[in-house]
């Protein structure tokens, strides 16, 4: 598992904020430190910033679930 050194965008659009909120809702408040590090890679992947991001199987499943949740209009 490789953890990216890339950062989330500083000037977040509404789309970026929605992705970050969906990922935070998926992992919940009591997530471990390791999960917090993995969340950034998932956020970047969903934002389309895939350069040098390598997801493991757990992250790929989370991306699929979160992407389906983002399709909802709520």
Residue-by-residue DSSP string for 40-51: HHHHHHHTT--T
What pLDDT digit, counting tens, does each position of 27-73 carry? 887 778 887 778 888 888 888 887 778 888 988 898 999 888 888 76
Mean pLDDT, residues 2-21 taken together? 81
pTM for the full model? Answer: 0.79
Return the sign of the alpha-carbon dihedral for residues 60, 61, 64, 69: negative
Cβ partners under 8 Å of residue 49, min gap 6: 6
């Amino acid at each position: 598992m490789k953890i990216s050194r890339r950062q989330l965008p500083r000037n977040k659009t509404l789309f970026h904020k929605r992705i970050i909120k969906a990922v935070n809702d998926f992992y919940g408040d009591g997530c471990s430190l390791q999960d917090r590090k993995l969340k950034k890679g998932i956020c970047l992947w969903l934002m389309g910033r895939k350069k040098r991001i390598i997801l493991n199987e757990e992250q790929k499943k989370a991306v699929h679930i979160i992407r389906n949740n983002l399709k909802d209009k709520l």
